[in-house]
Structure 1
Amino acid sequence: MSTSLVIAAVDGSEHSLKALEWARTAALLHGGGLMVAHVLPDSAQLYAGRRSSLHSASEPEEYTDPVSEHIRDLLARAPELPAEVRYEALEGSVPEALRVIGAEADPRMLVMGSRGRGGFAALLLGSNSRAVASTTTCPVVVVPHAGRVVEASGEESAGRVVVGLHAAETPDDVLAFAFEEAAVRGTAVQVVSAYAVPPSTMIGVDSPFAVIPPEGLADGGDGVPAEREMLRSQTERLAPFRVRHPHVPVEQAAVPGEAAGRLVTASRSAALVVVGRHHPTRNVGPLMIGSVAHAVLHHAHGPVAVVPTRTEDA
């Protein structure tokens, strides 16, 4: 994987322009290049095919694409740009074209909006965004539309990178991505794990959860056994990443209930939520995405990174 290139998938919609701005900032943080990828509309692709089949020199060589021109104008007015910015006009269906460019360029990440020009206004997640996040071999960051974004509840909790962790199942690729993103942002990683509990009227689904520092795991604490065991498993699993990123603060949370809902709640004050695409040992097929990633993509209030694993895509 390239350590610096960021691909922004755009179609001219407000959703994709928001993703473009997020991608521009990410490329600057990583000190790398920005590739703006635009899948040509059907009319442009049909024109190119017609011109090629007719071999007519009287036809213009290029089809004027107003989306590409608009994007170039926008970036020309940006306050700062990465050292390298290039543009790619792609042909084919949106999911397949982006899957191919993601495999060929092998970027740090591919960034896109949660919805494009198509679909109904009430959609939480467009079909193209879901398909790209489910199949592309590089991490995909989906930036939600304005209707799903909420302001952080306070400066103290804003800006963390939140990662969902099942200590025995989450691949290293997911944790590595979360720590690297926190490192370039100069912020903390908040690790959230969920454990099942019997139904109880005393536990509210939306109740806040406690964040435990490593030093709070000493014997004699007040945590329930399931919570304390999960925190210990977290600590063991996170140890090599703490060594690799000694300047990244780590916050641990073991919470009762369902993982996706807790991650959606945490997304209200997160710079980024990181989830694995699906369980790496389950044969769910290349076009599937795990239930946690699926739910978080649909409901998160901020950007979500869906990270595949190298073994999964080999």
Structure 2
Amino acid sequence: MTPPVTVGLDGFPESRAAAEWAAREAVLREAPLRLVHVEQWPLIPSVPPVDHLENVEWPDIEEFRRQVDAVLEEVSDDLRRRHAGLAVSARRLTGRAAAVLAVEAADSQMLVLGSRGRGAVERFVIGSVGTATIGLTDTPVVVVRPQDEVAPGSPEYAGRDVVVGVDIHENADAVLAFAFGEAARRGCGVRAVHGWSLPFAFSYAPGLDPGVRQEVADGIAAALGERLRPSRERYPSVKVQERVLVGAPAEQVLYEAADAELVVVGRRIRRAPVGGHLGHVAHAVLHHATAPVAVIAHD
């Protein structure tokens, strides 16, 4: 059985945008779509003084569940109508949202989550549930924000590539495999981005040969090319652009991601009692990129 594309749905517009993106992805992958809503009630509700209990309006859990089921049914029907032949299932689960979503992601091809905007200054926030979920699963997680839909093949779509941040000093196989696979499905190209800077101490070396910077840049470009070689061979139809840019890696990825179809970044797997690790590049891209962002766990 083909593993599904799973999406977290909470009824807000952001999660509906995520569901629509996930539906298109499921069609591309010829996979079923699974909608999941996690019912997360406080384990220890705040209890007022006993003499005021008669005035407390306790939440009607059954009514809340009926509303959730109605939303799941509505979104499921809408996606089936918009994407003929797409198999859509829905489930309402109870528990801590991040943990439940991580369990659902375990047998999925990917997990898709929505993220809410907070204005032009603050940009975007993924939220504590999304951040925690990413740290708890090794399954690819894609974070989607509401945006104008651009159809493949349209003039607006031309030039939209899959942008992938590549760290030449780490194992990038899983990150590149995901990025190239997505580009091949969409019929677009890949822009591989690596940001770098000379060590800070070099700024205090006035006698430094000006050619050293170029020599270092050439070495990094060669290393990036070598990293990309297996993916180029596996996906010969995917056009590849290599970007070796001077500057902080997160800033360079975000600059290239301004017109991206999808942004792909890596997250090193680190087992710790306090949860998973989200590197500073992935953190920055998740919070500031306007395009969908895929976070890929790797060793």
1:41 Cα deviation from its structure 2 partner? 4.5
Cα separation, 1, equivalents of 2:33 and 2:4? 6
Q: TM-score, normalised by structure 1?
A: 0.74
- Report the CA distance shift for 1:291/1:76 in structure 2 as closer, same or farther (over 3 A): same
CA RMSD of aligned residues (A): 3.1
- Report the CA distance shift for 1:126/1:172 in structure 2 as closer, same or farther (over 3 A): same
1:22 corresponding residue in structure 2: 21
The AA in structure 2 aligned to 1:140 is V
Cα separation, 2, equivalents of 1:132 and 1:81? 30
- Report the CA distance shift for 1:100/1:232 in structure 2 as closer, same or farther (over 3 A): same
**2:87 pairs with 84, 91, 95, which one?**
84
**1:307 pairs with 278, 283, 296, which one?**
296
SS at match of 2:217: helix
**1:277 pairs with 267, 270, 277, which one?**
267
Contact 1:195 1:257 in 2 (8 A): yes
- Report the CA distance shift for 1:7/1:62 in structure 2 as closer, same or farther (over 3 A): same
1:170 Cα deviation from its structure 2 partner? 3.6
1:74 Cα deviation from its structure 2 partner? 3.1
1:75 Cα deviation from its structure 2 partner? 3.5
1:12 corresponding residue in structure 2: 11
1:62 Cα deviation from its structure 2 partner? 10
1:186 corresponding residue in structure 2: 187
Write the mapping of 1:137-156 to structure 2, written as runs, cut at 5 A. 137-145=138-146, 155=156
Note the alpha carbon deviations across 1:180-231, whole angstroms, 9 max, x for none. 11111111111000111478xxxxxxxxxxxxxxxxxxxxxxx932322222
The AA in structure 2 aligned to 1:13 is F
1:66 corresponding residue in structure 2: 67
**2:282 pairs with 262, 283, 293, which one?**
293
Contact 1:24 1:34 in 2 (8 A): yes
SS at match of 1:177: helix
SS at match of 1:192: strand
- Report the CA distance shift for 1:102/1:269 in structure 2 as closer, same or farther (over 3 A): same
SS at match of 1:181: helix
- Report the CA distance shift for 1:232/1:162 in structure 2 as closer, same or farther (over 3 A): same
Q: Which structure has the bigger radius of gyration? A: 2
How many residue pairs get matched? 260
Tell me which stretches of 4 or more aligned residues in structure 1 moved more than 6 Å.
281-285
Write the mapping of 1:125-274 to structure 2, written as runs, cut at 5 A. 125-145=126-146, 155=156, 158-197=159-198, 224-274=214-264
* 1:97 is aligned to 2:100: yes
Residue ranges of structure 2 left out of the alignment (5+ in a row): 46-61, 201-212
Cα separation, 1, equivalents of 2:274 and 2:196? 26
1:286 Cα deviation from its structure 2 partner? 4.0
1:273 Cα deviation from its structure 2 partner? 0.5
Contact 2:123 2:287 in 1 (8 A): no
Note the alpha carbon deviations across 1:25-63, whole angstroms, 9 max, x for none. 0001111110111112529xx9xxxxxxxxxxxxxx997
The AA in structure 2 aligned to 1:76 is D
1:171 Cα deviation from its structure 2 partner? 2.9
Contact 2:40 2:95 in 1 (8 A): no
1:107 corresponding residue in structure 2: 108
2:37 corresponding residue in structure 1: 38
Note the alpha carbon deviations across 1:241-293, whole angstroms, 9 max, x for none. 11111111111000000011111122211111101113x58989742211111
The percent identity for this pair of structures is: 36
